[in-house]
Amino acid sequence: MTDTLTSTTAPLPESPDAPTRAPRTRRRLDGGNGGTNWWLTALIAVCSLTVLIPLYFTVVTALKTPDQLGGTGFELPTSIRWENFADAYQLTNFPRALMNTALITVGAVFLTLLTNSLVAYAIARNMHKKFFKGLYFYFLAAIFVPFPIIMLPVVKETALLGLDTPVGLILLYTVYGLSFNIFIFVAYINSIPVELEEAARLDGASTWGVFWKVIFPLLSPMNATVGILTCVWAWNDFLLPLVVLSDPSAQTLPLAQFIFQGQFNTNYPVAFASYLMALAPLLIVYVIAQKWVVSGVTRGSVK
């Protein structure tokens, strides 16, 4: 599995039946009078600048003309050059890269949700059988396989099978995410009472019917989590598209920055405009759906 999965998704082996929404801990660092801790608020505010300042820097640099560079770089632009964005748009062929990234991400999320939960369901409900238990550990073991050992052979294989395309990437994300996703799906499915399925079975539902009508809807909190993690991974991934994609017109947003960087690395404002355009879509989605994203990721870790 590539870096992303490993670095950005963390399973929690413990799934205590503790309430997910435990009462918010009331920690009284100020001695217990229950008021707002203003010193701590100020401290946190200062710390949050470490996140915000590089972002501010990216934005102002993207708006400058080359002769305004110099200095510390944090100065506000004296005159704004919007053409940086137009130039970056053309140089990186932005719409194409955006389209490729969006297609790959949507495809990977869609296929992952459809298949990984199904596999996890079959495994979770048959854990007492050797075959399924073995399968569970077979998939889980892959969490510890570093991507570089797969990297060289998989390039040969995808080229051979004609999978060196966005479609191939979707398949790879789906398969490489399986290890971790099964881990959290199985833990979650185990907490769903079997009685629900039995009721559906008595009404004549098949195993498929039970899955799609009963289990899949109940999985929506986990689906949200897996969806978010897969989305962030597929959108930002660099190494897998770098080695797998053979057609230059299939390049993704991070890949476009990489190639563009090599060719035009002198014009920083245009480069930063390009970076900003590549970062913006996910950043905007995050700002809009912030609460939802954070709770989704948290849920994955608590369950």
Given 3-state DSSP classes, what are the helix, strand and coil percentages for the chain, each rounded to the nearest 5?
75, 0, 25
Select 25 or 249, whichever has its Cβ closest to another protein: 25
For another protein, the closer CB: 103 or 126: 126
- In whole angstroms, the minimum distance from the beta carbon of 229 to another protein comes to 10
Choose among 135, 253, 177: nearest CA to 8: 177
Nearer to another protein, 250 or 276 (CB): 276
DSSP state of 110: H
- 123-126 contacts at long range (C-beta below 8 A, 24 or more positions apart): 123/182, 123/186, 124/185, 124/186, 124/189, 124/190, 125/189, 125/194
Of 76 and 152, which has the nearer Cβ to another protein?
A: 152
What is the smallest separation between the CB atom of 32 and another protein, expressed in angstroms? 5
Least gap, CB of 42 to another protein (angstroms): 9
Which residue, 47 or 79, is less far from another protein as judged by CB? Answer: 47
Angle of helix 220-236 relative to helix 268-288, nearest 10 degrees, comes to 180
The least CB distance from residue 276 to another protein, in Å, is 9
Beta strands (DSSP E) in the chain are none
Instruction: For the CB of residue 86, give the shortest distance to another protein in the complex, in Å.
Output: 19
